[in-house]
Structure 1
Amino acid sequence: MNLKSLRLALVAAAATLLVSACTITVRPGGFTSSDLTLSGVIQDFQPTRGNGAAYYVGENVEFRLVTDRSGYVTLTALDPDGKVYVFERNIPVQAGVNYLPVAGARHVYSVNPPLGQQRVRASFTVGRTDGSVKYVGRYGDGDWTSAIQIEIRPSPVRDVAETYFYIR
């Protein structure tokens, strides 16, 4: 192993230790964190049919989001196969009740395989995120949580809530 490869391996190991030292625990409807302060902005987040509702492949899913202030929300998901992906980024929301996708949007959230439990997180920030955090290619709860944490950390007001539904 040459010096450059060794240096790269040490940097990667240090970065892994740093990220793994961060603790985020998912609570119903959101996160708690020992090293990332969340603001409690999201009061409710769930599919319009309710948490744990069943959707068939091809149906559209909508979400009800209640916040106590205006800002932006990014919706990400962990599918039943463990793949992480983005529903939509930087959705402007107003304080109060919001339905996603927003009225007048030129798109829908269509349910697709794989079948099973679909977990969805709403990440709230007061300003738009820069979109530099990539979710494609991430797998599992740990990678998903790390990506969200990196994305929302710069925002002085931030929150995360989680819901789920089943794909039949």
Structure 2
Amino acid sequence: MKKKILYIDMDGVVADFDKALEYYDSEINKMNHENDSNQATIRNNKVDVICEANEEFFHQIPPIDSAIETVSQLFEKFDIYFLSTPMWSAPHSFTGKRIWIEKHFGEMASKRLILTHRKDLNIGEYLIDDRICNGVENFSGTHIHFGSEKFPNWEITAKYLINNN
């Protein structure tokens, strides 16, 4: 039986981007960037400065709780690809993401990283992403909004995927 294609975003889904930011700026995640456009602009500028200045940033991000174990198990049931948007202004983010995937998933994830700013151009059944941008809103399959009320963590997300496979 052919496995269904499952795309998994990196930052905020398997890699704890916000936790990594706190190492450089302990106040950055306290900003109300969800509802305040001024705070969002300030936060985004700070994120850019941090990421552009630290070439090792992207391969030193800690994993999200139970992400590595859960995704490793999902490899048995799905044809998994990591679908991530690197920072154009931080070219080392391209390489850093590749290093991160190999460090945490090893050979099982070899040649399974797709870096793009248009996630909707990929065809598959599922896309797990914590945001609705970079084409996620037009993805032709099912968007699983990781971190949302419906999919708050990997345990619930994995149950949904297995039950709907």
Which bracket does the TM-score occupy, shorter chain normalised? under 0.3
Instruction: Choose 1 or 2 for highest CA Rg.
Output: 1
TM-score by length of 2: 0.28
- Give the structure with the larger helix fraction: 2
